[in-house]
Amino acid sequence: MSGYDLGSGFIAPATSADATTAVAYLRSPLAIRVRATNVLEAGLLGELRHFRVDRTRIEAVAERVIAVTRQNYPNLRIPVHGRLGHFRAGGVDRVGSLAATVGGGLAAAESLIDLVVVSVLLDAGAGEAWHYREASTGQQLARSEGLAVASLRAFEGGLFSADPLSPLRADAAALRSFDDDDLARAFQVGATNPLVGVAGRGQLMRRLGETIDRNAALFPGGRPSGLLHALRARGTEVRAADLLGDLLEGLGPIWPGRIELGGVNLGDCWHHPAAGGIGPSAGLVPFHHLSQWLAYSLFEPLELGGVKVVQPGAMTGLPEYRNGGLLVDLGAIVPRYEGVTRDVHRVDDEVIVEWRALTVALLDWVADAVRERLHVTPDQLPLARILEGGTWHAGRQVAHERRPGGGPPIAIDSDGTVF
């Protein structure tokens, strides 16, 4: 680590070549893991301002994750942590129904990719008051599952398609003119059912449409699922890190109000004085939470379309409030002062960046401890399955045990585009 004294977060002027190299690095899973580890090292030395780290609690976290995993998947046949699982909430196979409606095969893969992209980008935290009532099943769903099913039903209703005769798709034309009021209606938002960040979510959809229009190489045909055809043109396999890189490059312009380097929007990437590094990227911690969540969520539909994602272990744990909340609630990440859990924080506040970085680094420790107890290898139980088994569900379970409504231990003022 280059030292904790990079506290100003200042990034020196750089040449175009320096900036290009730095951007490429900050878009890699390696950079996410390295910078998060730098913050963790500062925490282990007691040098962080907002949290201390209690490494002895990793054992308790791993035990809880294993217990929840065995509840959810007794045979340990765990799927990849992805959006498709949320579409199956309440034991209803909505994915299978959608695939059958469009005829299966390549058409199903295209439709599912379109759905996954818009649904994941609409998946930032809903808030504790919002819920969605599904008319066809009578289920009332909240948080991620509610957002997933609401987006799927809106998708089936043609909200993301400009072609009334082909509703089960998303295309740039519909996304460019996406209306916040339509989103609010589809998601049943009202005075007694508020959804956090409606305007931010709508803006993200419009930016997505504009970006797809401008990037025909990655999204041929003007649809998110054009990505499948771009990947098929390269071969039958894609490395997970390369898939993430494609998503970060292709979707980079959609993120509002972010740090830029060499004129490039860095997305979910923030200053922290313990980040380390040299050159133009010094002092920055990348997370790319929604982009990594999207990459994980695309594994299954891409494989349905004939492209297998390999080397999934290169990607990192997701720095969101379920995983991070689990580590705080079980004492592995310990707030240094009352304001951490009392106050509401912005996503770019140092305390939140610090929490998220510690979450990424410690999830690797938790994964190692889980595998050791289950006597399996990383190939047998990759991080993508531990997250699903796993840390995300354990975080939710512990949150409900400790707080009415099951909210996170640390409050975030979200604009609907990060968490």
Check: CB of residue 48 under 8 Å from CB of residue 362.
Answer: no
For residue range 257-295, list pLDDT tens digits in order: 789 999 998 999 999 999 999 999 999 999 999 899 999
Q: What is the pLDDT of residues 70-120, one digit of tens each?
A: 999 999 999 999 999 999 999 999 999 999 999 989 999 999 999 999 999
> How many residues are listed for the chain in this entry?
419
pLDDT value for 413: 87
Q: What is the mean pLDDT of residues 209-218?
A: 95
Instruction: Supply 68's token pair.
Output: 């929840």
Asked if residue 399 lies in contact with residue 331, where contact means CB atoms within 8 angstroms, the answer is: no
Average pLDDT over the chain, rounded to an integer: 92
Whole-model pTM: value is 0.91
pLDDT value for 419: 64
Domain ranges of the chain: 16-413
Contact 94, 88 (CB under 8 A): yes
Tokens 């590094």 belong to 277
**Structure confidence at residue 17 (pLDDT):** 78
- Taking 90 as the threshold, does the pLDDT of residue 327 lie above it? yes
Where does the pLDDT of residue 126 fall: very low under 50, low under 70, confident under 90, or very high at 90 and above?
confident
What is the CB neighbour count within 10 angstroms for residue 393? 20
Residue 415 — pLDDT band, cuts 50, 70, 90? low
Choose between 380 and 197: higher pLDDT. 380
Q: What is the pLDDT of residue 31?
A: 97
Calpha distance 406→389 (Å, rounded): 19
